[in-house]
């Protein structure tokens, strides 16, 4: 009640309050309005006009706020869908060390993931050995000669199949060594018999805070020129679900590569 009374006695409501008071007095003491030189009809008409103007001003205020919100939303949408904001370069990506710190399960796919293993192999082994992290690595099959030739044809750095095959086998040896010093199931490896169209780095994909980085492969370009997309389960649920499902399907169809402690089953 006190809040309602305080709301009445504000500058913008003075006119309405005055006219309303006159109308009430006119009903209670009709002679008073006549002595003041007013008629009850005029007071009521003034009251209705005041209420109409007040309502109109309030509605216009709503419209102005709605227009402002729509304008701000439009600007945010335009910024969000900008191609230069959506697609990023490799050097703009989050460091893999942060993924290791923040995630319990990491899935990786690519042609060979050589750079990742060479740079972070020790940290991966440390995390897996302590039993804090679980990893899945999906690589292309080095025993598939047709596949090796197809990948080499679109590569800049490794334009011949034997070079690519050697790299993949070196990565597999490194993963075997990491698995040997890790708990069972901490390191899983599978091999794909198709040319990948992109690579994936997935952190805690099955959880609400899951993240995915999608790296798009191109034709005869260096790895630094590839564009990347960052996805979050919370903010990009539909696109996130699509790419997460893609990795799961590829993992299911790939061949298990047994390590000392991991059967890949």
Q: For 126-138, how does the pLDDT look when each residue is reduced to its tens digit (9 = 90+)?
A: 999 887 799 999 9
Task: Give dist(CA 142, CA 107) in Å, integer.
Answer: 20
Q: Is the pLDDT of residue 262 over 50?
A: no
Q: Which range is least confidently modeled, 98-102, 198-202, 218-222?
A: 218-222
The tokens for 159 are 């334009």
238-256 pLDDT, tens digit per residue, is: 999 999 999 999 999 999 9
Domain boundary among 80, 113, 141: 80
Between residues 52 and 123, the one the model is more confident about: 123
Q: Is the pLDDT of residue 8 over 50?
A: no
What burial class does residue 155 get, using C-beta atoms within 10 Å of its C-beta: 0-12 exposed, 13-18 middle, 19+ buried?
A: buried
Residue 134 shares a structural domain with residue 28: no
The answer to whether residue 263 is domain-embedded is no
pLDDT for the residue 219: 78
What burial class does residue 93 get, using C-beta atoms within 10 Å of its C-beta: 0-12 exposed, 13-18 middle, 19+ buried?
A: middle
Number of domains in the chain: 2
pLDDT for the residue 249: 96
Q: Which domain holds residue 67?
A: 2-80
Task: Give dist(CA 51, CA 113) in Å, integer.
Answer: 72
Pair 168, 112: CB distance under 8 Å:
yes
Based on C-alpha coordinates, what's the Rg of the chain?
34
Between residues 74 and 102, the one the model is more confident about: 102
Domain boundary among 55, 80, 105: 80
The percentage of the chain sitting over the pLDDT mark of 90, rounded to a whole number, equals 37
Residue 124 shares a structural domain with residue 75: no
Task: Give dist(CA 4, CA 174) in Å, integer.
Answer: 74
Average pLDDT over residues 101-111: 92
Task: Give dist(CA 45, CA 215) in Å, integer.
Answer: 71
The answer to whether residue 265 is domain-embedded is no
**Confidence grade of residue 22 (pLDDT, cut at 50, 70, 90):** low
**What DSSP character marks residue 10?**
S
The tokens for 216 are 């798009």
Residue 93 shares a structural domain with residue 45: no
Residue 12 shares a structural domain with residue 103: no
Between residues 88 and 150, the one the model is more confident about: 150
The answer to whether residue 264 is domain-embedded is no
**Confidence grade of residue 263 (pLDDT, cut at 50, 70, 90):** very low
CB environment 21-58: b (16+ within 10 A), e (fewer): ebbebbeeeeeebeeeebeeeebeebbeebeeeeeeee
Residue 224 shares a structural domain with residue 95: yes
The tokens for 80 are 């969000």
Residue 209 shares a structural domain with residue 124: yes
Average pLDDT over residues 151-155: 81
Reference 184, options 138, 124, 131; nearest CA is: 131
The answer to whether residue 192 is domain-embedded is yes
CB environment 223-253: b (16+ within 10 A), e (fewer): beebbbbbbebeebeeebeebbebbeebbee
Q: Which range is least confidently modeled, 138-142, 162-166, 175-179?
A: 162-166
């Amino acid at each position: 009640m006190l809040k309602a009374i305080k709301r009445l006695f504000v500058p913008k409501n003075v006119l309405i309050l005055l006219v309303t008071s006159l109308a009430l007095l006119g009903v209670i003491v009709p002679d008073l309005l006549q002595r003041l030189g007013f008629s009850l009809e005029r007071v009521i008409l003034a009251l209705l006009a005041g209420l109409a103007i007040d309502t109109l001003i309030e509605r216009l205020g709503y419209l102005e706020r709605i227009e402002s919100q729509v304008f701000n939303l439009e600007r945010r949408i335009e910024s969000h869908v900008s191609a230069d904001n959506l697609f990023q370069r490799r050097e703009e990506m989050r460091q893999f060390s942060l993924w290791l710190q923040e995630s319990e399960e990491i899935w990786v796919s690519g042609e060979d993931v050589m750079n990742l293993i060479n740079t972070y192999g020790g940290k991966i082994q440390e995390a897996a050995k302590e039993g804090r992290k679980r990893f899945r690595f999906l690589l292309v099959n080095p025993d598939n000669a047709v596949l090796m030739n197809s990948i080499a044809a679109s590569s800049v750095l490794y334009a011949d199949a034997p070079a690519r095959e050697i790299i993949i086998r070196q990565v597999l040896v490194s993963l075997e060594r990491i698995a040997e010093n890790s708990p069972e199931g901490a390191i899983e490896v599978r091999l794909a018999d198709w040319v990948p169209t992109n690579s994936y780095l997935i952190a805690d994909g099955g959880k609400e805070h899951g993240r995915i980085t999608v790296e798009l492969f191109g034709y005869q370009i260096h790895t630094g020129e590839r564009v990347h997309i960052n996805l979050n389960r919370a903010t990009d649920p539909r696109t996130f679900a699509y790419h997460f499902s893609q990795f799961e399907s590829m993992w299911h169809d790939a061949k298990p590569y047994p390590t000392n402690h991991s059967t890949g089953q």
